Every structure is written in C-alpha cells, then in structure tokens.
Amino acid sequence: MLRKNTYNELLKIATKIRSYIGIGALTLLILIVLFAMKADGKSYVGFVTASFEQTLSFNGKILNGNLIAFIILQMLIVHVPLLIALVTGDLISGEEATGTVRMLATKPISRTGIVLSKWFAATIYTLIMTLWLGFLSLFVAKWMFGTGDLIVLNSEGLLVLPESELAWRFGLSLMIAFLALWTVATLSMAFSAFAKNSVGPIVSTMSVIILFTIIGTLDVSVFDSIKPFMFTTHMAAWRSVFEDPFPTSTIVESVVVLMLHILVLLGITLYRFNKKDITS
Amino acid sequence: MALIQVLSLQKHFGAFQAVKDVSFHVNQGDVFGFLGPNGAGKSTTIRCLLSLITPSGGDIRFFGKSLRENRSEVLSRVGCIIEKPDFYKYLSAQRNLEIFARISGQQIPSKKIQEMLDFVGLTGREKDKVAGFSHGMKQRLGIAQTLLHNPDIVILDEPTTGLDPQGIIEVRNLILRLRDEQNKTVLLSSHQLSEIEIIANRMVIINQGRTVVEGEVQGLLAKQSLNLEITVEDPLKMEAVFSEKFPELTFRLLYPNTYHVELHTDQRKELIQHLVEGGSGVKAVIPKRSLEDFFIKMTEK
C-alpha cells in the first residue's frame, strides 16, 4: 500500500504545474549565471584574484567549468529551498485545501502510510532537484568552459584543489546539499500538517530559514549555544568539502544534526496528522 | 444482522459537544436514512464512522468488529462520499479513479474502472480533467469511486447538497440502483425527510447531538400527519367535495387553484378518488412532509 501510494504521490507531483516552476526557475537561474560568466567571467575572476596578483602568479585556465559550478552552487543553495518548499509545503495542506484529504483518509491506508508516502515522494522530488542542480552546474559548465583545477577563496586565503580530486568533492557536496534540502522539505511538510492551505507552510519555512540564518550570522555570544543545533548552520556544510585538510568531524557533525532534524520533523508530522480531526 | 452499530457515540471539540449520545444500527441490505437538521451532529457522526474524526466516547462497530482496532479492514469494505466528492482537478476522471483504486486495498483492473464510469453515465468523459466537471458530474464520479472496490457498505453524506433538480434526480436514481442492482447496504445522511422517505426503509433521526427516534420509515411516518399540495382545475368543486366527504380536514389556498391539505391518516387514495369523481379536474397531488413537524411530534413524546 505504501509503495502504491508513493507512486500516487509522485504522479500528483509530476502532473502539477507548480512542480515545474522550481525546475524551470533553477534552470533559468543557472543559464543566466552561465551566460554572465561566458560574457564577462574573466573580469569577475580578475576581481577576485586581483589582491593576490602581486604575490602569486596564476598559470592555466582559472575560469573553468569547476569554478563556475562552485560559484553556481554557492549562489543558488540559498534559493533552492524556496523552490523545494513550493512543492513539499503543499503536499498535506494542499489536500486539505481541496478536500481530497477526506477521500484519502477514508481509504484503508493508515494515516502514517499517507504521511510516509508523501515524504518519500518529497524525498524523490528533492533528489531530482539536487541532481538537476548538479547536472546543470557541473556538466553544462564543464561543457561550456572546459575543466581545470579549482581555486577556492576562503577565510584563510586561496586554496587550489587539483582537478583529480574534484569529482568526489563535488559528489559529496551534492550529497550534503541534498541532505540540507531534504531537511527543508521535511520542515515544510511538518508545517503543511498544521495548515489548511499551502501558502502558510511555504512562507513559514522561508521565515524559519531567514530567521535562523540571521541568528547564525549575528556575532553575539548569547546565540552561540544554540547555533550548533540550528539546521541552517549546517546547510552550508557542503562548502566544507572543498577545504584542505578535509574537515571530517565538521562534516560528520553536520550530517548527524541534519539527519536528527529530519527524524524529529517527520515525527512531528506523523504525530500531528495521526491526531488530526479531519473536519474540512 | 447489523453491519453497523453505533453505541452511545460522543464527540466534543473543546468545550463544544457536537455529538452527545447517538446510537443506532444498520442492518444488512438496509437503505438507512440518517436524518437531522443542520447542526444536529450528522456530519460529525459520519466522520467518526469513517475514522476522519476520533470519537470522545462510545463505540462504533462494523461487521461486529470495533472500528478503532480494525480500521483498515473495515474501510476496505466501505465506500463513501462526504458531502461533496473532491477530486484532483488537474487530473482526468480516469486518472482520479486509478489513484483511489490503488489504495483501495484490492487489485482493481482498468476494466472495472471503465465499468464504473459506464454505471454512473460518464462514458466518453473519462479522459476529461475533473476541473471541467459540473457538481453533478463530480457527484456521479464520486459514486463511481465509492463502488470501485465493490464495498459491502456505502455511506453517503448529504449527496444531493448543492445539486440542481436534475442532478438530485440523477443521484437519487443512482442510489436506488445501488440498492436494486448492486444489493448494497446504504447509509444515507440527509436533512430532507422527503428524500429519505423515497429511498430508505429504515431511519434514525438525531437532534442536538442525540438520537431522537430510530425505526422503519413507513412505521414512523405513519404516526405523523401527511400534508398534500393539490392543484385542481375547478376549486369550487374541490371545496364542495371537501365539505361533503371530508369535513374533518383542514385546507388552505396556497396559490390560485393550489391547496395545502392536512390529512390525519393516509387518506390519499380515497381523497383523490372523490376529487376525480366530483369533477374537480385534479392536475397534481404532491405529498409534503415537514421534518420540523416530524421532529416536534417525535420530541413531544
């Protein structure tokens, strides 16, 4: 029953226009970045490397597909959660708004089964969005700009990562990015279980992300104790993959925190939906 | 054999007690009327029956088993429409039925889906998106969805609400076909006694969250006065018949040539016979029963 309803949920996602808004917007944004880099990428890179030119000599092709992919990931990882929440925030509340939740809840599938099948479908949608982000940013950028070593500018200076190491680093960063987006998807589903239309869950999800991000960037000691437990702190963990030496413990900690968030949020969704009186 | 047993059902939402004490039973083969005015607790009771709402007290048993402990098994043998059937508007009628078929707990072939669409008269519209369907068409699609898994019990909550007269007739005929052709046990909720009188053999009336009366429809209705609306060609001759043959009856003019007549017993047959023989030119005789009147009579006891 769970497998069949997951198929139903995927079918519903696949036939809704809003599901393609995210993919369309993502594609358009990446194409705009690629076009901008093609048109004026050298001056963009020159601006970044200018401060190092007196002490360092750059040889080879700095503006390559790997750098473009890294820039795209950095730019879009903030916006993709909104595109994910647009679909996942509607999964339960949308059924409530249209009244179809009554039809679903009177079938011999348990309420837990209904939530889990929606969550599996949300997971698959999030995975598809992440893979699409990875495909466009990595493969299309490489096709347009060629390959080469990756120059990463971080707080400690300039780091050059050899091309041979980039495949697994990008792969791992996309996996962590997926985990972060999966957390957002589960959060919006949890809000969705409390709402009667999809606007509330989408706005609430984005509000939480913005609020937590602001708290995370505030350099005030009073928030120091809660920052490690906020999922937004760990949403940027994908970037740690491009550090040297490789920060294993930081990444493992982020993965554990994000996984715990997913489990707790899913638990809240299941509890709420199971206890809910459907009166619509 | 009682297929549905509702025993001292209670439900409160915070301080508000929507259902205080509702009990009734539905026998196999019944078309069971579930009656009550708006706000009586009908929809809450029906939602409890379908596990959409968790009761605060009492028990619900289907096929002799507790709903609480056998939810999936029970629901796989029940089909329902709650008020209005809501479908995925962006999907076709057929796709909607396929979605509900997959979670019905049974293997339902596509041939069965087509059969059900034929049964409710939606052949040729199966590929159309539900967004373009009228309320009546959605109601018929709802009945098709209800029957997909060949349930033993069909629960219909106010299935004619919001329908135009043509739609009401279509849905009513479909319910009669459920009884006659599919041999289903039907629980039909309504606030219109006339509707229940046409379709049901047994009924329960609830008011303010409590059971008022339960029993055979004809037996219960025989206890109340029957009102008629009679339209004739010659009002003078009709009044003459009343004065001579039925002096005990009270009647009043509703509109030109149409009278409201209150009978104390079911005298319809002899009344019509005398009116015809008296040359009144009977054009229409419409039975009228008021649920409110019936309530008053039942609650007075």
Long-range contacts of B10-14 (CB under 8 A, 24+ apart): B10/B55, B10/B56, B10/B57, B10/B58, B11/B41, B11/B44, B11/B45, B11/B48, B11/B53, B11/B55, B11/B56, B11/B57, B12/B56, B13/A277
pLDDT above 60 (res A117): yes
Q: Does B107 touch chain A (CB under 8 A)?
A: no
Task: Give A262→chain B minimum CA distance, Å.
Answer: 26
Rounded to an integer, the average pLDDT of A44-50 is: 72
Q: How many CA atoms lie within 13 A of B241 on its CB side?
A: 21
CA-to-CA distance for A104 and A95, rounded, in angstroms?
A: 9
Residues 6+ apart with CB under 8 A from A221: none
Residue A143 one-letter amino acid: W
Higher pLDDT, residue A212 or B193: A212
Q: What is the pLDDT of residue A159?
A: 80
To the nearest whole Å, the CA of B23 is away from the closest chain A CA by: 21
* B54 at A interface, C-beta within 8 A: yes
Helix segments in A135-198, DSSP class H:
141-145, 166-192
User: Do B216 and B27 contact (CB within 8 A), yes or no?
Assistant: no
What whole-number distance in Å separates Cα of residue A177 and Cα of residue A241? 11
Chain B residues close to A5, C-beta within 8 Å:
102-103
Of B53, B54, B104, the CB nearest to A107: B104
Asked if B73 is an interface residue toward chain A (Cβ–Cβ < 8 A), one would say: yes
* Nearest 10 degrees: Cα torsion B128, B131, B135, B140: 40
The residue ranges of DSSP E strands in chain B, in sequence order, are: 2-13, 16-27, 31-35, 57-62, 65-66, 78-82, 153-157, 185-190, 202-207, 210-216, 226-232, 250-255, 258-263, 282-288
Average pLDDT over all residues of chain A:
87
Q: Do A100 and B88 touch (CB under 8 A)?
A: yes
CB within 8 Å: A106 and B86: no
pLDDT of residue B290: 59
Q: Which residues of B touch A11 (CB under 8 A)?
A: 95, 99
Domain boundaries, chain A: 2-275
B250-275 residues labelled b (16+ CB within 10 A) or e (exposed) = ebeeeeebebebebeeebeeebeebb
Q: Which of B46, B68, B99, B147 to mutate against chain A (most A CBs within 10 Å)?
A: B99
How far does the CA of residue B198 sit from the closest CA of chain A (Å)? Answer: 28
Q: Report the complex ipTM.
A: 0.79
Report CB contact under 8 Å: A108, B105.
yes
At residue A92 the predicted structure's pLDDT band, cuts being 50, 70 and 90, is very high
**SS3 call for B11:** strand
Q: The dihedral of CA A171, A177, A180, A183: what is its sign?
A: negative
Q: What pLDDT, on the 0 to 100 scale, is given for residue B53?
A: 93
Residues of A in CB contact (< 8 Å) with B are: 1, 4-5, 7-8, 11-12, 15-17, 98-100, 102-110, 275, 277-279
Q: How far is B151 from chain A (nearest CA, A)?
A: 12
pLDDT, tens only, A198-209? 889 999 999 999
The two three-digit tokens of residue B194, written as one number: 């006339």
pLDDT of A7 over the 90 cut = yes
At A193, the amino acid letter reads A
Do A136 and A26 meet the contact criterion of CB atoms below 8 Å apart? yes
Chain A's closest residue to B68, CA to CA, is A110
The CA-atom distances, in angstroms, between A129 and each of A231, B25, B265, B272 are 20, 52, 73, 75
Query: How far apart, in whole angstroms, are the C-alpha atoms of residue B120 and residue B114?
Result: 10
B84 contacts chain A (CB < 8 A): yes
Report for A47-51, A224-228, B91-95, B244-248: range of highest mean pLDDT = B91-95
Percentage of chain A beyond pLDDT 70 is: 95
Query: Identity (one letter) of the amino acid at B208?
Result: Q
Before A245, cis peptide (omega within 30)? yes
CA dist B60 and B45 (Å) reads: 10
Q: Model confidence at A53, in pLDDT bands (50, 70, 90)?
A: low
Counting DSSP H helices and E strands in chain B, the numbers are 11, 14
CB proximity B71 to A under 8 Å: yes
| φ, ψ at B265 (rounded to 5°) | -130, 175
Res B175: pLDDT: 83
Which chain A residues contact residue B100 at CB under 8 A? 103, 107
Task: Work out the minimum CA distance from A220 to partner chain B, whole angstroms.
Answer: 43
Residues with pLDDT less than 70, chain B: 223-225, 266, 289-301
Q: Which of A71, A61, A83, A82 is nearest to A34 (CA)?
A: A71
Contacts of A109 in chain B (CB under 8 A): 72, 103, 105
Nearest-by-Cβ selection for A100 from B51, B87, B95:
B87
Beta bridge partners of B250: B262
Count of CB atoms within 10 A of residue B136's CB?
A: 18
Q: Which residue has the tokens 């005990």?
A: B248
Q: Which pair of tokens denotes residue B186?
A: 């039907």
| Residue A163 confidence (pLDDT) | 82
- Residues in a beta bridge with B110: none
DSSP letter for A1, please. Answer: -
